[in-house]
Amino acid sequence: MKTYLQTRRAGSANPSTDEMRAALTELSGSDAPDAETWLEDENGYVLVVFGSGRVALLGPDSEEICHRKRVSHDQALELWQLLQEGRRDEIKQRLAASAFLKRNVIPGIVVLLLSLLYLMNAPHNSDDPIA
């Protein structure tokens, strides 16, 4: 799929992996967390990477479809490569996985740990053979 990479300084049609990696390196050298670089596909989908580590997938209408925070440059590069391959559904899954963990798995682990702490500190009956 045809893509276009826009960096802070220039743009590049159908960028190579090295060009995309260089764009991410340039982004990390920025002092501004809102600095951005992005890859756009021929259908108008855009995957924006911010200096803060936030990544957002935008639709052809420029509406945000999904995003994720604290994305490493290696992960961002993988996401850009998926966009080049036209695998937008996989991008959505990867970006949404973080939100699912925060919403469901992490709170569940916290409840489990608090329950275990309660049980460990609960008074035990000395007549109880299990205690």
C-alpha closest to that of 3 among 50, 56, 51, 39: 39
CA 116 vs. chain centroid, Å, equals 32
pLDDT, tens only, 18-72:
999 999 998 877 666 678 999 999 999 999 999 999 999 999 999 999 999 999 9
Query: pLDDT exceeding 90 applies to what percent of the chain?
Result: 61
Give the model's confidence band at 99: pLDDT under 50 very low, under 70 low, under 90 confident, else very high.
Answer: low
- Is the pTM higher than 0.75? The answer reads no
For CA atoms 14, 19, 20, 24, the dihedral sign is negative
Give the model's confidence band at 100: pLDDT under 50 very low, under 70 low, under 90 confident, else very high.
Answer: very low
pLDDT, tens only, 105-119:
566 677 777 777 777
